[in-house]
Amino acid sequence: MAQTQEFIDEVMGFDPSTVVTAFEETNPENGGKKYVNPNIYKTNPANSVSEDGHYHSKVRVLLNPYDIKRSIVHQVRYNMRDDKGFFTAISLLSVGNKECPIFKGWKSLWFAKIANPEDPKQMIEDTEKKEWAKSHFDKNESDWVLVQIIEDENQPELVGQFKVMKIAKAILNRLLAKMNPSDPKKQKQPLMDYIFGPVLDMDVAPGPDDPNQPERKQREISYDLCDFDTDPTPIIKVDGTPLFSDDEIEIIDEYNTANNDMVKAKTAAKAEAAKAKKAELAPQVRELYAKAVEYVKTCAFDPIVECGYTPWSPELTTRVQAWLDKVTAMIEPANAAPVAARGSEDAPVTTAAPAAPAADTTFDAGADAGTDLPF
């Protein structure tokens, strides 16, 4: 219970610019069937039931109930292939740690030096190793958030469920700009708040119909039309019904109205009256936060565990190291055929042997003075 109260204190004193680490600047570098993680929410226009072909839905982007400071989970994943097939590993780079063995293996090739044939005393870039590294290290970066589906006619069975969603760059930029605006005169918006956060209107457009390049329809999916609403939309139950009663919703609306009145007040007297109304409602709102936090922690999972870095299993560690041993020795990891010595005119061409992918066991990865409420 103490941990829950501590979390409520964090939520109710929410300041996105200080508690969400995404605002911190970092520079980190089975069976032949693809595994589909059921905890991932996908909004592919190919599954749209709308006449316009867009994927329309409404979701709530939420704070991580297990670690509020890591509510936006960054993922750096390496895709690899060996003689057993395709596999992936989420890198330590995800948390800004450059001790990732894969990253270090890449550096050993990318920054390799050799003696200059024209001047042996001078070291120059080893272009062969650099090209090898470029063709063998496949790194993918993405950001993930916890969401609750509020409306979705395309997948109605998902309404109310908590999922993780890869957040597109266009949406992430909007979220960061609204939660932590560069203009100090603009109010920070608690978009990920369980009670006062608004819905994110998903309007995901397919790429263009191009007969010459049909792959563009999937490859050029656009999230530019997605945006956040303005009205608070509290979380709901996993069965799609309201979590809060009508009376509780009225308290939420009154508190939100008082906040808006305070922000827009033309006179000091009106601002003070609105502030007093907020102070009057604050204890009741705090109780609603306790209810929301307990519900989310009961029904949702930790997005860090789902899509962030966690220590590798012994099996994955062994497999990654075996792959690195071959790649850093410039041996094709899928067929173990060595590259011929430098300068050999009849060097054999070696390529990775075709292999059916093995199961991918990861997945496609200003508060008011004197109050502790989000605004």
pLDDT digits (tens, 9 = 90+) for 250-280: 999 999 999 999 989 899 999 999 999 999 9
Q: How far apart are the first and last CA of the chain?
A: 25
pLDDT at residue 348, as a whole number: 30
| Residue 333, in any domain of the structure | no
Number of CB atoms found within 10 A of residue 208's CB: 10
| Residue 58, in any domain of the structure | yes
| Residue 348, in any domain of the structure | no
| Residue 359, in any domain of the structure | no
CA–CA separation, 229 and 136 (whole Å): 43
Burial class (CB in 10 A: 0-12, 13-18, 19+), 45: buried
pLDDT at residue 51, as a whole number: 96
CA–CA separation, 152 and 157 (whole Å): 8
Number of CB atoms found within 10 A of residue 272's CB: 12
Q: Is this model's pTM higher than 0.85 or not?
A: no
Dihedral sign for Cα 198, 199, 201, 204, please. positive
| Residue 342, in any domain of the structure | no
Q: What is the pLDDT of residues 320-352, one digit of tens each?
A: 999 999 999 999 998 754 444 333 333 332 333
Residues of the chain where predicted confidence (pLDDT) is lower than 50 = 19, 23-32, 337-371
pLDDT at residue 343, as a whole number: 36
Tokens at 206, concatenated? 């397919």
| Residue 362, in any domain of the structure | no
Please state the domain count of the chain: 1
pLDDT at residue 167, as a whole number: 97
| Residue 338, in any domain of the structure | no
Of 318, 348, 353, 322, whose CA–CA distance to 335 is shortest? 353
Residue ranges making up the domain that contains 60: 2-28+39-328
CA–CA separation, 140 and 363 (whole Å): 12
The domain that holds 302 is classified in CATH as 3.90.198.10
| Residue 369, in any domain of the structure | no
Query: Across the chain, what does the average pLDDT equal?
Result: 85
